[in-house]
């Protein structure tokens, strides 16, 4: 049951299910936050291998400390903070080369604004996953790093070019509502 409808479950519900041993809920929780966890070390300048190590450490800490969380509504912030701390810990363990490492460590500190932005991006991703598949595809094509031209969107989705704008507006309105529902 959990694996099938994890997108609809709140963090509170997933955490509660994890705490009673529901493996599918744990998988859903990790799937929900994997992009956030990877984003932090990559933003700090780590490569893929280090980001994977940090991901494993954050996942382990989440498993070990899940029952200690006081406010599961702030789970994304807690995860982002732990990922940042793990990144700083990894920087400290690397062989030092003097001033360069001190500068790298200073640069690696993510300002609070960046953590908030990462949390907001996570909420947008969650809201997007709750939209109908057609909206997900349309918004994905239009707001990808390299947005597809309307002619290509029309062809891929089988809709007239003149319908793309109004459908985009409706999908964005749905996204906004879903995002507001998720926002703590």
* Domain map (residue ranges) of the chain: 1-112, 131-184
Q: Which are the contacts of 32, defined by CB distance < 8 A and separation ≥ 6?
A: 6, 11, 14, 126
Joined tokens for residue 138: 């349309």
In words, the CATH class of domain 1-112 is mainly alpha
- Would you tell me the crossing angle of helices 75-93 and 99-108 to the nearest 10 degrees? 180
Collapsing DSSP states into helix, strand and coil, what is residue 55? Answer: helix
pTM of whole model > 0.95?
no
Give the pLDDT score at 166: 92
Contact status, residue 90 vs residue 46, Cβ threshold 8 Å: yes
- Euclidean distance between CA atoms 30 and 173, whole angstroms: 28
Contact status, residue 26 vs residue 66, Cβ threshold 8 Å: no
Query: Does 3.40.50 match the CATH number of domain 131-184?
Result: no
| Per-residue 3-state assignment (H helix, E strand, C coil) for 107-126 | HHCCCHHHHHHHHHHHHHHH
Alpha helices, DSSP H only, in 20-147? 23-43, 48-65, 75-93, 99-108, 112-129, 133-142
Give the pLDDT score at 93: 79
pLDDT in tens, the chain (184 residues): 444 576 678 888 889 999 998 888 888 899 889 988 988 888 888 889 999 999 999 999 998 888 888 888 788 888 988 998 898 888 877 765 444 554 554 455 455 666 667 777 777 888 888 889 999 999 988 888 788 899 999 999 999 989 998 999 999 999 888 888 877 6
Give the pLDDT score at 97: 47
CA distances to 8, 14, 59, 91, 103 from 109, in Å:
33, 30, 21, 11, 10
CA distances to 48, 134, 148, 150, 166 from 161, in Å:
39, 15, 12, 6, 10
Give the pLDDT score at 113: 63
Give the pLDDT score at 56: 94
């Amino acid at each position: 049951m959990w694996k099938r409808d994890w997108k609809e479950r709140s963090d509170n519900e997933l955490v509660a299910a994890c705490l009673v041993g529901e493996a599918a809920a744990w998988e859903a929780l990790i799937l929900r936050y994997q992009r956030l966890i990877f984003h932090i070390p990559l933003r700090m300048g780590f490569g893929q291998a280090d980001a994977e190590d940090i991901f494993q450490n954050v996942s382990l800490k989440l498993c070990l400390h899940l029952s200690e969380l006081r406010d599961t509504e702030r789970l994304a912030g807690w995860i982002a903070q732990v990922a940042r701390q793990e990144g700083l810990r990894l920087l400290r363990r690397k062989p030092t080369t003097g001033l360069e490492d001190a500068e790298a460590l200073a640069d690696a500190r993510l300002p609070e604004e960046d953590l908030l932005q990462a949390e907001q991006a996570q909420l947008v991703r969650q809201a997007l996953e709750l939209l109908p598949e057609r909206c997900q595809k349309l918004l994905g094509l239009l707001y990808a790093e390299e947005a597809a031209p309307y002619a290509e969107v029309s062809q891929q989705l089988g809709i007239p070019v003149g319908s793309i704008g109004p459908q985009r507006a409706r999908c964005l309105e749905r996204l906004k509502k879903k995002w507001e529902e998720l926002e703590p």
